[in-house]
Amino acid sequence: MSLKLYTKTGDKGQTSLLGGKKVSKSDLRIEAYGNVDELNSFIGLLKDHPEVPARIGSQFYWLQENLFSIGSILATESGFKGFKLPEITDIEVKQIEVWIDKYSGELPELKTFILPGGHQVVSLCHVCRTVCRRTERSIIALSNAEEIDAHIIQFMNRLSDYFFVMARKFADMFEVPETPWSPGQD
């Protein structure tokens, strides 16, 4: 006997958090972990691009695993003690910083704002960056209403910086010139 994908329990705009609490599908918590899920999906698309080297793809996989952990934490009602949830700690935040520092050190100094684009992989990094920023904002909105572990916010903040650096790294790797923002220029 297979489990049905649809339960019809959400037909009236409600869903359940891990722990059983029913909330509106427009709840800040649902918005936050939905954004995490969207970001995770875009990272999967980026990771699956044939021009992404396996060594960087493994970083994307690591990020996806941690985002899944963040999603499960955010999908859990406050105070739920049914089982031990994964954690995001200073270790995960520092790992992203290590990658940012490594790739930043390999790139020319940035002297102007740059426009997204030039190569599909570069553009996908920018999509991940912007979805990550939206995700971070939604988690901060949630943190204004409920206590959220500060490491989650730090992780998301570093992650958007990581994708900016990765966009630049891939532009360099694929020898795609970065397009500076030139307001008022034709």
Q: Is residue 5 part of a domain?
A: no
Asked, for residue 125, whether it belongs to a domain, the answer is yes
Q: What is the DSSP string of 23-59?
A: EETTSHHHHHHHHHHHHHHHHHHHHTSTTS-HHHHHH
Task: Tell me the three state secondary structure of residue 80.
Answer: coil
Structure-model confidence comparison of residues 4 and 108, the more confident one: 108
Q: pTM of the entire structure? A: 0.91
Query: Does residue 32 lie in a domain region?
Result: yes
Per cent of the chain over pLDDT 90 is 68
Assess if residue 162 is contained within a domain: yes
Q: Is residue 45 part of a domain?
A: yes
Helix (H) or strand (E) segment spanning residue 15 = strand 14-16
Beta bridge partners of 76: 18
CA dist 2 and 22 (Å) reads 25
CATH of the domain at 71: 1.20.1200.10
* pLDDT of amino acid 80: 73
Considering the domain boundaries, does residue 2 fall inside one?
no
Residue at 81 is within a domain: no
Tell the residue number behind the tokens 């800040």, with chain if given.
Answer: 28
Query: Mean of the pLDDT values across residues 83-109?
Result: 94
Q: Tell me if 37 is assigned to some domain.
A: yes
Q: How many domains does the chain have?
A: 1
Domain that holds residue 136: 23-75+87-105+116-175
pLDDT tens, residue by residue, 170-185: 999 999 998 888 887 7
